[in-house]
Chains A and B, each alone.
Chain A
Amino acid sequence: MEYHGFAGQILYIDLTNRDIRKEPLGENLIRDYIGGMGINTKLAFDLIEPGIDPLSPKNVICYGSGPFVGTTIPGCSRAGIITKSPLTGLLGESQTGVSIGPMLKYAGYDHLVISGRAEKPVYLAITDDDVEIRDAEGLWGKDVYETTDLIRAELGDYWVSCIGPAGEKLVRFANIVENKSGMIARVGLGAVMGSKNLKAIAVRGTKGITVSQRGKFRKMVKELREKVAASPVLDMWRNEGKVIDYYIGQYAKRGISVTKNFSEGIPEATDVYFTQKEYAKRIWKNYFACMSCPAGDKGIVSIQGGKYDGLTFKISNPWGTPLTFNQAGIRNWDDGVQCTYLSDIYGMDSFSSAIMIGFATELYKNGIISKEDTGGLELDWSADAAFKLMEKIARREDIGDILADGVKAASERIGKGAEEHAVHVKGLEPTMDLRSEHFTENFGQLVDPRGAHHARGYSITYVPRKGKSIKNYAPLIGIPEAAIDQICPESELDTNNWSKPRLLKWVNDYNSMSYSCGQCMRVQIGPQYTLDIYRDLFYATTGIEMSSEELQKAGERIWNLQRLFNVREGASRKDDMPPHKMLNEALVVGEKKYPPLNEKHINELLDDYYDERGWDKDTGNPTMETLKRLDLEEEGRSVLEKKS
């Protein structure tokens, strides 16, 4: 088979017996799962035995990027991993736009599958056809920046993905960091690398990725680039944190972004503590971009003056991440940036770190843990306590050893009511509160296969929309007319009361399809693409003809197979419920008070979601009828028949 868009091979590496083999990428796999995240899903489903310990040699890391990655298609640099998550015990999925995926393709591999465990620390050096397992004992213990620099000093201009001390210590929310700033984050995939004694992957490829229809490809890319360049929000996202007042500020005012372990809203966040004016003057240095992206919404920060004068580094989300540390009580840019820096060099998820500090401080204030547990550290919402606790977690010292297992496991181990303070869905902490309002992104956190994750619920509903807007938007992502009427009946054309769960189903499928191509869904990029554009671009790139319906069905197949992975591990409808705190405590946001979530109402919304999906309402499992329609009969039987 002649490959366009794809490199055409899967590279398998078993670290236990140092076995390296290569297999061609099958066309059926592409047709059924597109590429990237989709094919990673199928590989993980087939290769990971049910019930294994995610940190055992039996776990398998499935890395890969889709057919658009490594080309000039605007915003198509996403690559990522699927494995079994040590944080959730379920499907661990994560990806980044600053990835080594393109270089892996230039070396000849769309996917990299790593199994087993090396006897001693190693790293992989992949140079086209030459794949080496090299000694990494000198790198063990080094932080993310040091590791990357040392490998480049040894090998030259390689793209590097690595773990820091947190991954080595098996912190269950350790990241994998790509080219020093791309975070494969949230669900502890760095710990899976650590458990395999795999410190890093370095790659350099001299081959090229071709496309099938050069003329059509060039024309489509030009049109898309022009559309992105004309986006009215481009400057706001790119320069000087101008987006702070609009996006983050609005989320704080609307009670979506909250503080101190989800205890209260912080409507004044960007008016008083994290102002754009100060950010532009003292923190922001320049933009940078993911490969092939005209948006450029990543940032280089460089603090001018104060305690951390001169601290300069790259951050994927240069305003959002520092501000996230308000969950740990941080109320200024300087300390937020320093916390981000520490989490980055330890190779530890910044959001989970922030929540973990907030969670531990709340336990401390409520007398559930004491100075005896913390090694004498007073948890008082101060920056100093945050820095020290992060270090304890990264090194698994004192209470850090317990907290390093994540909020769910830590709360169960601590007991004494700590579970009620642990805010998570399936073990992963949400990034958005659900008490003040619902839209597809925040509601999507309940049903996402990786736990409380918002991104694959992304749609135009991040600002409240009337039914009319939904009716205009829905056909662009391929929602059929009958489904549109179910999502938005005539009576709701002028309200925001149309069905979020029913729209979410289609959005999840669409985003699964686009992620599998390698595409980013951010606001400056995503809306420029429609399902029909994907169809045309997929053909121009790969030469493989797939209809819009087939692409959409592949997205739905990917989502369902991810659900089946979780069902196989024992997850069910009960795991889609919101955290205890959101069901039992009101949320105060300035002068507004939002009541706790109503369990009956949430159940009704979940019923609608399962109904739209063709899933069983009692169990939350995909029905055999749905799985047959998606050509997943065999996979379905292997899981559901064992259950019954």
Chain B
Amino acid sequence: MGEKKKTRFKEIKTHPEKCSACISCQLACSFAYAKSFNPIKSRIILNYIGDIEREISFSDDCIKCGICADHCNYGAIEAVAWSD
């Protein structure tokens, strides 16, 4: 028996050290779910610690669809598929 697939991807892994802060992930997420562009409406959240280091997290309504990973050109977000 494989794991139960409640979401499209099993996990969205992040690598903040590779993030460029281009916020394409946030824009793509808001475009998909809020039907318009604005990073504030995004389910992926970026924090800039001291303006230099980055921290990436997700809001509770994230459904692990992987759109953010799809739009990352820097390898900072990785959508991990279910094992089976």
Q: List residues of A whose CB falls within 8 A of some B CB.
A: 70-72, 106, 180, 204-211, 225, 228-229, 285-294, 296, 300, 312, 314
The yes or no answer to B21 lying at the interface (CB within 8 A) is yes
Contact with A along B20-33 (1 / 0, CB 8 A): 11111001101100
Contacts of A291 in B (CB 8 A): 22-23, 27
Interface of chain A, helix or strand or loop or mixed?
loop
Q: In the bound complex, what is the Cα–Cα distance between A211 and B41 (angstroms)? A: 16
Write the chain A residue with the least CB distance to B74.
A296
Contacts of B34 in A (CB 8 A): 208
Q: How many residues of B contact A (CB 8 A)?
A: 22
Q: Are B38 and A209 in contact (CB under 8 A)?
A: yes
Q: 8 Å CB contacts to A: which residues of B26-84? A: 27-28, 30-31, 34-38, 40-41, 51-52, 71, 73-74
Q: Are B51 and A292 in contact (CB under 8 A)?
A: no
Contacts of A72 in B (CB 8 A): 24, 27-28, 31, 37, 71
**Contacts known (A72-B71, A296-B73); A106 close to B22, Cβ less than 8 A:** no
Choose one: A210, A225, A293; the contact of B36 (CB below 8 Å): A210
Q: Are B38 and A207 in contact (CB under 8 A)?
A: yes
Q: Are A208 and B36 in contact (CB under 8 A)?
A: yes
Q: Are B27 and A286 in contact (CB under 8 A)?
A: no
Choose one: B21, B24, B52; the contact of A312 (CB below 8 Å): B52
Q: Are A300 and B22 in contact (CB under 8 A)?
A: no
Contacts of A180 in B (CB 8 A): 51
Q: Are A289 and B22 in contact (CB under 8 A)?
A: yes
Choose one: B23, B28, B30, B38; the contact of A205 (CB below 8 Å): B38
Contacts of A285 in B (CB 8 A): 52
Q: Are A294 and B38 in contact (CB under 8 A)?
A: no
Contacts of B37 in A (CB 8 A): 70-72, 106, 208-211
Q: In the bound complex, what is the Cα–Cα distance between A146 and B31 (angstroms)? A: 34
Q: In the bound complex, what is the Cα–Cα distance between A293 and B34 (angstroms)? A: 21
Q: In the bound complex, what is the Cα–Cα distance between A579 and B19 (angstroms)? A: 43
Q: In the bound complex, what is the Cα–Cα distance between A205 and B34 (angstroms)? A: 14
Choose one: A207, A290, A294, A300; the contact of B73 (CB below 8 Å): A294
Q: Are A293 and B22 in contact (CB under 8 A)?
A: yes
- 27 A-B pairs, CB-CB below 8 angstroms? A71-B31, A72-B28, A72-B31, A72-B37, A106-B37, A180-B51, A205-B38, A206-B38, A207-B38, A208-B30, A208-B35, A208-B37, A208-B41, A210-B37, A229-B73, A285-B52, A287-B20, A291-B23, A292-B23, A292-B24, A293-B22, A294-B24, A294-B73, A296-B20, A296-B22, A300-B52, A314-B52
